[in-house]
Amino acid sequence: NAGVTQTPKFRILKIGQSMTLQCTQDMNHNYMYWYRQDPGMGLKLIYYSVGAGITDKGEVPNGYNVSRSTTEDFPLRLELAAPSQTSVYFCAHSNRGTEAFFGQGTRLTVV
């Protein structure tokens, strides 16, 4: 599982609802990321964290929030879901200077 667990795998949300995507890694890596992947597109960075207590915006942060209270966990919060947030979300982690390991993804549909 590349040392990372993402839940849920699938979710359907109604417009305006909120949810949290969970991400937990067990490799004690400092760096963690959230990406979204729209059909036929590459991955776009939503938020990233270089360590517990530190988070930063990526390319497409609007409509999302994150927290990093521990090294292991990096949840992504969607507030007031919109159809434009329909996507596949990937959590990833890496250690300094090494490859990024991706979770299995969460397929989210907002209707």
Partner 1 sequence: GENVEQHPSTLSVQEGDSAVIKCTYSDSASNYFPWYKQELGKRPQLIIDIRSNVGEKKDQRIAVTLNKTAKHFSLHITETQPEDSAVYFCAATRSGGGADGLTFGKGTHLIIQP
Which residues of this chain interact with partner 1, rule CB under 8 A?
A: 2, 31, 33, 35, 40-45, 48, 50, 56, 58-59, 90, 94-100, 102-105
Min dist. Cβ of residue 82 to partner 1 (A): 23
Min dist. Cβ of residue 16 to partner 1 (A): 29
- From residue 28, alpha-carbon distances to 3, 24, 53, 92 in Å are 9, 10, 15, 13
Question: With contact defined as beta carbons under 8 Å apart, do 15 and 25 qualify?
Answer: no
Min dist. Cβ of residue 17 to partner 1 (A): 25
Q: Which residue has the tokens 């397929």?
A: 107
